[in-house]
A and B are shown apart, each in its own frame.
Chain A
Amino acid sequence: MSGNMNLTLKIWTQKNAKSKGQFETIKIGGISPDMSFLEMLDTVNEQQMKEGKEGFAFDHDCREGICGMCSLVINGLPHGPDNLITTCQLHMRKFKDGDTIVIEPWRASAFPVIRDCVVDRYSFDRIIQAGGFISVNTGSAPDASAIAVPKDQSERAFDAAACVGCGACVAACKNSSAMLFVAAKVSHLNYLPQGKVEAKRRVLAMVDQMDKEGFGNCSNLYECEAACPKGITVDFIAKMNREYLGATAIYAEKVYGEEM
């Protein structure tokens, strides 16, 4: 049951991290409004391959908005024109017959392009390695109900923990800042009693790593919040800034930087 939308796509193509990329223009017909955006791209690739061309590379896996793998800037918007969804949840009914759609990768120096619209987000893993965890070895945990966590606190931690690490916040920011991602993890862990012990070291180490990775400064324009598929709010950035200031004031330089 194919549909009848005709579209013009301008898709970013780039052989690898070192080569220069460019837009390629493709015309595609027979698109159904019930297709997801990625199914539309599957259709494009099937057509390309039938013509003996390799098709376009784009990242995806779960295709239900939770793994954080899909990552396209569509008409200038990370994850496209719908709210609170990832690229894989976007459907073609959001577009009209005859539309031109521009498709690009996340653009940030900390996210180098691997191919076409596929980028490398290893910098996010390194930020987590710096302090985005609670130090508890397997088997050393107390009974799960030993510490009660007030519901509102646990809910707020959860709102922050909903981050899927896709990087849309970085792609949306003119400075390529990763503040929303880092703030979400800092808040998730620091709101919980289990995470409080390491709270200061965590915020310092994670922010430090974020800077090292080459992410820019917060522009305070809140584009990140608008692009976030999980509705993570910039309030967490404010919370992180307060924690960071508090931690730098208290934390003697000699302590910070010690083995964690």
Chain B
Amino acid sequence: MILDSAIPSGPIGEKWTRHKFELKLVNPANKRKFSVIVVGTGLAGASAAASLGELGYNVMAFCTQDSARRAHSIAAQGGINAAKNYTNDGDSVYRLFYDTVKGGDFRAREANVHRLAECSNLIIDQCVAQGVPFGRDYGGLLDNRSFGGAQVSRTFYARGQTGQQLLIGAYQAMMRQVAKGSVKMFPRREMLDLVVVDGKARGIVVRNLVTGELESHVADAVCLCTGGYGNVFYLSTNAKGSNVTAAWRAHKKGALFANPCYTQIHPTCIPVTGDHQSKLTLMSESLRNDGRVWVPKKIGDTRSPDQIPEEERFYYLEEKYPSFGNLVPRDVASRNAKTICDKGMGVGQSKLAVYLDFSDAIKRLGASAVSAKYGNLFQMYEKITDENPYKTPMRIFPAVHYTMGGLWVDYNLMSTIPGCFVLGEANFSDHGANRLGASALMQGLADGYFVLPYTIGGYFAGTKLDKVTASAPEFEAAKKENEAHIHKLLNVKGKRTVASIHSELGHIMWENVGMGRNQAGLEKALAEIPALREEFWKNVNVLGGEGSFNQNLEHAGRLADFLEFGELMALDALHRKESCGGHFREESQTEEGEAKRDDENFCYVGAWDYKGVGVKPELTKEPLTFDNVHLVTRSYK
């Protein structure tokens, strides 16, 4: 297979403008003749549904929650990047483009990233007009903060609730279209299948989560905006319902899955307290501006932190990276915490934590200044741990946070199935092997507000679409298949709960496909995952019925997909013998233990084609070229 990324020709700064001009248009009066399914109502889905509705398309939007406003985007804390250069510190579209390509460790497409940077400013304009209450200064103008991986202040924020405020903006725009009748909302629905007719995506099969009924929905195009798959690790900062199901089912219908192994592990999360742990909570990256990371020098030192004198503390980041210190990028900070804990130097009951200490900052700035900056985070920490971070250092540990991999899309955001578009975290396109802070929100909104509304028109104008109804054999077959799948889940009637198997999968993934990966570990995972999948199909116990609200059945269906997907992740990680961004292959490191990229052999997107459960998928490579940002080694020493 040859992957055509459809990148327009011309200089990097002109590609998008030229492409928009060259795309065929759908006449305004004809737009209402086209129907579009949008699955997912996070930043990507809500912005797409609203914008398509405004243009006059007939939109059907789906989400698993009871309201579109509750999509996982709501949880984003820190901020959203844009190249406004309001701070006059030398920012530009080109610099945002440059930082994002470099931050992604040269594994993203230049053309996509440049377009993202171009759209960034429009996003801020749009959001302010919708009433998003971004932080402002005393002059009433928009304020910016700094984030990792950049030397300019370009991050717009709304207290610690940037994701919430942006999502509410997009959700309200979508609700306005619901009132107008151009968007129809289907909450509490889970997409179980993509239906392909004559080689084109023409609809979906969903389960109505309240009644259990399987429904067919027909359209002229399907947009998957279903978020990331971090929950394959069981424990992550993602919402409990986040899943790979929609993407995976589309993959099984022919959509290639790109770079599945690229996972971002965030260094500052609240550590696990016990087996009951159901999810992990992020403590914003901004804390590393004033907090100092350390562990006791002596292994097994059980004294309370305030009893450990300065000279017996190991400030490992400051010692190892004198110029960046505690502010090294996420992947570097996470890996170092793991190495320390692997040596047995971790702290707390589990020994899987390091200290993040604010005592120096409190001495230097005073407790009230520290509180003004981080008060809400300190309070959140205290609620969860019952410890006061003003008095005792925080204990933190890395956690799975974001997935850069996703369904392969071309420049038009279309997957390898014509008419199936993929937006937001669910696609693979803009962050390469490592995402910079504050750029996921930017990407989701760029895709939905400013990219898809153009490219989908190009698709409709250039494609012949026959009339299809829900009684087409393809829909009937998909429904039957999914009914059978549900019956199969309910009829295993084994002894183990869904959660216990999910947690075991998470353990396999975390140990072998987590922060540090090596051949032996990956091969172990590739043996253990299929075995666990077999155990699941032999011994899971899914209670309750199919014709009612059944959270256990929902979870079981998602886990069944994770049990297949996890294998692909491990396989991708095994094949990529280099280290890049969040993907650290222990065999490929420099003498100082830093990630070593192999541009000669791995400067490509790895896209996998499904061949059956347990059958080795086929790899297709999309070569990456860097004409503008030249390949260099990232260094933070």
Contacts and interface: CB of A to CB of B under 8 A. Distances in A.
Interface of A: 1-2, 15-16, 32-36, 38-40, 42-43, 46, 49-50, 52-55, 57, 59-69, 82, 85, 89, 91, 93, 114-115, 118, 120-122, 124-125, 128-130, 132-145, 147-151, 154, 157-158, 161-162, 164-165, 188-189, 192, 194-195, 260
B274 A67 contact: no
Contacts of A15: 548
Interface string B270-289: 00011111110110000000
Contact of A114 (B84, B210, B499, B500): B210
Nearest to A111: B66
A122 B165 CA distance: 20
A1 B274 contact: yes
Contacts of B185: 125
B86 A145 contact: yes
Interface stretch (B138-146, B473-481, B620-628): B138-146
Interface stretch (B129-137, B506-514, B601-609): B129-137
B423 interface: no
Given A63-B278, A67-B239, A194 B75 contact: no
Q: Which of B50, B66, B138, B497 has the most CB of A within 10 A?
A: B66
Interface stretch (B167-175, B196-204, B351-359, B520-528): B167-175
A168 to B, nearest CB: 15
B383 A55 contact: no
B534 interface: no
22 contacts: A42-B499, A49-B497, A53-B543, A62-B70, A64-B279, A64-B380, A66-B161, A67-B239, A68-B67, A91-B386, A118-B549, A121-B66, A129-B179, A133-B175, A139-B450, A141-B122, A141-B128, A144-B121, A144-B134, A147-B128, A162-B161, A164-B74
B68 interface: yes
In the A-B complex, the 3 residue pairs with the closest CB atoms: A148-B140, A141-B129, A1-B274
B239 A68 contact: no
Given A50-B497, A61-B70, A114-B549, A122 B187 contact: yes
B273 A1 contact: yes
A136 B122 contact: no
A38 B386 contact: no
B168 A150 contact: no
B99 interface: no
Contacts of B499: 42, 46
B241 interface: yes
Contacts of B589: none
A114 B208 CA distance: 12
Given A16-B548, A138-B50, A141-B125, A66 B74 contact: yes
B628 to A, nearest CB: 27
Interface residues of A, dominant DSSP: loop
Interface residues of B, number: 83
A42 B51 CA distance: 39
A53 B511 CA distance: 33
A150 B128 contact: no
A125 B128 contact: no
Contacts of B550: 54
A212 B365 CA distance: 54
Interface in B347-387: 349, 380, 383-386
A72 B159 CA distance: 27
Contacts, number: 225
B124 interface: yes
A169 to B, nearest CB: 16
B552 interface: yes
A134 B66 contact: no
A61 B386 contact: no
Contacts of A141: 122, 125-126, 128-130
A125 B497 contact: no
Given A67-B75, A91-B384, A54 B544 contact: yes
Interface string B61-77: 00001111110101100
A152 to B, nearest CB: 9
Contacts of B549: 16, 57, 114-115, 118
A150 B140 contact: yes
B175 A188 contact: no
Q: Which of A34, A85, A124, A142 has the most CB of B within 10 A?
A: A34
B551 interface: yes
Given A52-B543, A91-B386, A134-B131, A66 B164 contact: yes
Interface of B: 47, 50-51, 54, 65-70, 72, 74-75, 84, 86, 121-122, 124-131, 133-134, 136-142, 158-159, 161, 163-165, 168, 171-173, 175-176, 178-179, 185, 187, 210, 239-241, 273-279, 281-282, 349, 380, 383-386, 449-450, 453, 497, 499-500, 541, 543-544, 548-552
Contact of A125 (B68, B74, B133, B449): B68
A194 B140 contact: no
Q: Which of A40, A61, A144 has the most CB of B within 10 A?
A: A144
B72 A67 contact: yes
Contacts of B279: 63-64
Given A133-B176, A158-B159, A162-B161, A49 B133 contact: no
Nearest to A119: B66
Contacts of A140: 129
Contact of A49 (B278, B543, B548): B543
B131 A128 contact: no
A177 B380 CA distance: 29
Contacts of B163: 66
Contact of B129 (A114, A132, A136): A136
B278 A42 contact: yes
Nearest to B211: A16
Given A122-B187, A150-B140, A138 B449 contact: yes
A243 B414 CA distance: 47
A57 B541 CA distance: 17
B125 A144 contact: yes
A5 B543 CA distance: 27
A164 B164 CA distance: 8
Given A118-B549, A151-B137, A192-B131, A1 B67 contact: no
A244 to B, nearest CB: 19
Given A133-B176, A134-B130, A148-B139, A67 B276 contact: no
A149 B140 contact: yes
Given A115-B549, A134-B131, A61 B239 contact: yes
A184 B173 CA distance: 17
Contacts of B164: 66, 164
Contacts of A42: 276, 278, 499
A122 B141 contact: no
A31 B110 CA distance: 52
Nearest to B350: A1
A40 B276 CA distance: 8
Contacts of B173: 133, 136, 138
Given A38-B278, A128-B172, 9 more contacts: A32-B276, A36-B384, A61-B240, A64-B279, A89-B384, A132-B172, A138-B47, A142-B129, A143-B125
A38 to B, nearest CB: 7
Contacts of B241: 61
B229 to A, nearest CB: 16
A143 B137 CA distance: 17
Contact of A62 (B72, B159, B172, B450): B72
